[in-house]
Amino acid sequence: MKHYVKSTFVSIAILGLWSSHTFASDPFVEEVKQLVASATAKQEKWDGPTAGPQLQKDKTVIFIASDMKNGGVLGVIDGMKEAVAATGWKLDILDGAGTVNNQLAALNQAIARQPDAIVIGGWNPNVAKIPLKKAVKNGIILTAWHATPEPGAIDKYGIFYNVTSNSDEIAKLSAMLAVADSDGKAKVVILTDSLYEIALRKANVMKEVIEKCQACQVLEFIDTPLADTSSRMPNLTFNLLQKYGDNLQYALSINDLYFDFMAPSLRSANKVRPYNISAGDGSVTAYQRIRQNDKQFATVPEPLNLHGWQLVDELNRAFAGEKPSGYVTPAHLVTQENIRYDGGERNLYDPQNGYKQAYKAIWGIQ
């Protein structure tokens, strides 16, 4: 791996052999290297809940997917299916098919069926205020995945708990990897899409991290639509290479999709740099590029299967009249050095920390 000579800090840190003289004089760089080392380590210890209510039996749950073509949603559904198989509950899935009208129609259909709970699967509950109030009035428990950028309860919609990773932490880690890998000298461009609030927020967080580094520099903050990546990224990549030359060291993006269409242009130009780092979502193509050292340095995926299990646990707590667990999965950096661990061989992030056994132990069904 050609450019990974620069990033031996990861493996050294994990082995505990890191000597203090490798740190840059900027104290922020030392802090960042420690955080990156932790975020790239194997996930072998369960850090989630270990206590909670016994299994509440004979429940029916309806999951309303934002779009069944969305790989993230499908990963969460797979996790829920596994967990529900363990609990003996019934899980039905309705497809929102990627439009507000279809998502609302699915929600109204779900409410009419009077399940014990409904899961908002990856779409904004702001478009469904009235039917959500009706669901709560009818005694239906509401939970969500990726309904809003922040994890936790969404009181204004009556949602017991929204399962998601912390997008700010994901963005911070992405930028910190550039700082650490460059020994505090990173020159970066940042790619975002201001159409999405969470995307712009991630990009601004990345910018703040780079600006905290004394010798680092944000060369350009670029707002370009995710929907137009196939048409825009080839020319944009060429223009960036022409404009910045060797100063273009790192590209930070809010999503792997940008690199799907930047990578071919970098190959055509026979360029090793920039080292591409994404703040989500750990796509299959991103995993393949990282594994092959092919124009992507790292990504920050979410543990989708684990999130499915957590949704079932949060529902069980709600059924038992208890509070949410409050658990938020920590951000995890995937690089070529750790890609063979924690599900990487299957092109996904599935921490091998015993989360399934932990949840079953809580429910008393071991």
Chain-centre distance for alpha carbon 91: 24
- Span 122-167, pLDDT tens digits: 988 999 999 999 999 999 999 999 998 889 999 999 999 999 999 9
Element (H, E) at 190: strand 187-192
Asked if pLDDT for residue 19 goes beyond 70, the answer is no
Neighbouring CB atoms inside 10 A of 75's CB total 23
- Span 59-112, pLDDT tens digits: 999 999 998 887 789 999 999 999 999 999 999 999 999 889 999 999 999 999
CA gap 328, 315 in Å, rounded: 15
3-class secondary structure, 21: helix
pTM over 0.95: no
Domains of the chain: 31-41+167-299 (3.40.50.2300), 60-164+303-329 (3.40.50.2300)
